[in-house]
């Protein structure tokens, strides 16, 4: 809710007519069309702008084994030490399952990113 002072200021600004005028050589006021005051922006000729695409490396199983091994090891430790509701062999089995799933998952994500890059860049 605006204060009384804010309401008065707003009413005051609406009391006056504002127009776009210029003065000619004789000193007479000449109304100007608002569209002439601010010309429309020209449209850019280029299609998509933005930053250049960074080329992702081709997917490889070696990189997937390295990344999947690191994240799988982290998940193994997290599952074994933080899921105390299950027995130790059950936690180890779930941790190994997560660790084994990370390797093909990282390869699939790398392949998806690389194919997406090829499609966007038009290299196919």
Dihedral class, residue 2 (left if φ above 0, else alpha if ψ from -120 to 50, else beta): beta
pTM of the full predicted structure? 0.53
Q: Tens of pLDDT along 40-59? A: 677 766 655 567 778 888 99
31-57 burial, b if ≥16 CB within 10 A, otherwise e?
Answer: eeeeeeeeeeeeeeeeeeeeeeeeeee
Low-confidence ranges of the chain (pLDDT < 50): none
Rounded to the nearest 5 percent, the helix, strand and coil shares of the chain are 60, 5, 35
Please give the pLDDT value at position 6.
Answer: 93
């Amino acid at each position: 809710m605006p204060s009384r002072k804010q309401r008065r200021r707003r009413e005051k600004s609406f009391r006056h007519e504002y127009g776009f005028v210029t003065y000619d050589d004789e000193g007479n006021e000449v109304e100007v069309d608002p569209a002439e005051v601010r010309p429309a922006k020209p449209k850019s000729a280029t299609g998509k702008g933005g930053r250049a695409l960074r080329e992702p490396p081709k997917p490889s199983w070696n990189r997937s084994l390295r990344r999947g091994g690191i994240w799988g090891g982290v998940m193994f430790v997290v599952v074994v030490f933080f899921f105390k509701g299950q027995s130790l062999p059950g936690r180890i089995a779930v941790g190994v399952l997560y660790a084994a799933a990370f390797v093909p998952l990282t390869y699939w994500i790398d392949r998806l990113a690389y194919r997406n890059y090829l499609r966007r860049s038009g290299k196919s």
